Amino acid sequence: MFRLLALTLATVLVSLSSPADAQVRTAFPVERGLSIADFPRLVPLGGSVYAYEALRAPGFTTVSMIVVGSDGVLIADGQESPDATRALLAAVATVTEKPVRWMVVGSVHEDHTGGTEALPANTVLVVHPDGLSQIRSGGRKVETGPRAIGEVKSIDLGDRAVDILFLGRAHTASDLVVRVPDQNLVFMSEVFMNRVFPPMRSAFPKEWEASLQRALELKAHLYIPGHGFVDGPERSREEMQAFRAAITHIRSEARRLRNASPGTVADWGEYASWMLADSQEPIALKRLAALGE
Ligand SMILES: [Zn+2]
């Protein structure tokens, strides 16, 4: 059920930077040559940091990040249910005996917070102030994270610190991202979904583009998505840019359709093949119309 990828970061780097690498850029597991049996899985990112990819309906990954410190483990984003969270905790236990002590709520949505009650009872949840009312804490202690752009809340894990940042409204009004300075990587939560048609039901698309730009300006070595696959460093930056370009295109297409004659058909370009496109296209148009964007 659970497997540790036998890939070191060096292996990932080599395989993804090689021209011979044929890894398809997609969020669909099958197109990457993976099956349900390959999940959940841990992707080592170096320095006792791991990405955890679990599959959820309709078949794409929900990613959590695990950072091991001498005083305990910090998780960035949880999973959708208590069972899925117990599987995450089982994965943590394969790499450290330290207890989970913190969970950063990057996204307040249920698929990232639905299993909170399965976390150790003394786990501290860190949530953007505007997201507090939307989470079920399961009785866990809750601390507020950064509220304003540029504000950073640091968590001391003993031998290392982890920074929590608010880069602006994006997928929701309360997205938080997590930076691991000693590895120069950023867990983006749902601010970045790798090759997933951007779900906009509760999004602020124009500000989302700006948030992605701020993340790129952090010049991280590696960006970890909240959904879709964890790619290598160079590709993760390219995919961040591709995701921002998708939002730009969707916004411009929505504007074009609003000004076009009735019956004009949307041209989503390559984004029509991204995961969730069918279900998310009408939602994006509705949201953009409501926001006047
Ligand atoms: Zn999600």
Neighbours of ion ligand 1 (CB under 5 A): 109, 111
- Residue 62 phi/psi, 5-degree rounding, is -110, 125
Distance 233 CA to ligand 1 centre (A): 22
Distance 1 CA to ligand 1 centre (A): 22
Distance 200 CA to ligand 1 centre (A): 11
> What percentage of the chain has pLDDT greater than the value 90?
87
Distance 245 CA to ligand 1 centre (A): 20
Distance 20 CA to ligand 1 centre (A): 32
Gap between the Cα atoms of 211 and 89, Å rounded:
30
Distance 284 CA to ligand 1 centre (A): 16
Q: pLDDT value at position 22?
A: 58
**17 has pLDDT over 80:** no
Distance 112 CA to ligand 1 centre (A): 6
**11 has pLDDT over 60:** no
Is the distance from CB of 190 to CB of 112 less than 8 angstroms?
Answer: yes
Q: pLDDT band at residue 8, thresholds of 50, 70 and 90?
A: very low
Q: pLDDT value at position 189?
A: 98
pLDDT digits (tens, 9 = 90+) for 71-120: 999 999 999 999 999 999 999 999 999 999 999 999 999 999 999 999 99
Distance 101 CA to ligand 1 centre (A): 22
**271 has pLDDT over 80:** yes
Q: pLDDT value at position 5?
A: 47
Distance 61 CA to ligand 1 centre (A): 9
pLDDT higher at 209 or 35: 209
Count how many domains the chain has. 1
Q: What is the mean pLDDT of residues 216-235?
A: 97
Q: What is the mean pLDDT of residues 215-235?
A: 97
Distance 106 CA to ligand 1 centre (A): 10
Distance 60 CA to ligand 1 centre (A): 10
Distance 159 CA to ligand 1 centre (A): 31
- Residue 289 phi/psi, 5-degree rounding, is -65, -40
Please give the DSSP secondary-structure letter assigned to residue 195: T
Q: pLDDT value at position 59?
A: 86
pLDDT higher at 49 or 261: 49
Share the mean pLDDT of the chain: 92
pLDDT higher at 3 or 234: 234
DSSP string, 7-66: --HHHHHHHHHSTT------S-TGGGT--GGG-SEEEEEETTEEEEEEEETTTEEEEEEE
* 205: CATH: 3.60.15.10
**6 has pLDDT over 60:** no
Report for 5-19, 34-48, 168-182: range of highest mean pLDDT: 168-182
Distance 21 CA to ligand 1 centre (A): 29
**Domain with 257 in it:** 3-291
Distance 62 CA to ligand 1 centre (A): 7
Distance 259 CA to ligand 1 centre (A): 32
pLDDT digits (tens, 9 = 90+) for 144-193: 999 999 999 999 999 999 999 999 999 999 999 999 999 999 999 999 99
Distance 189 CA to ligand 1 centre (A): 8
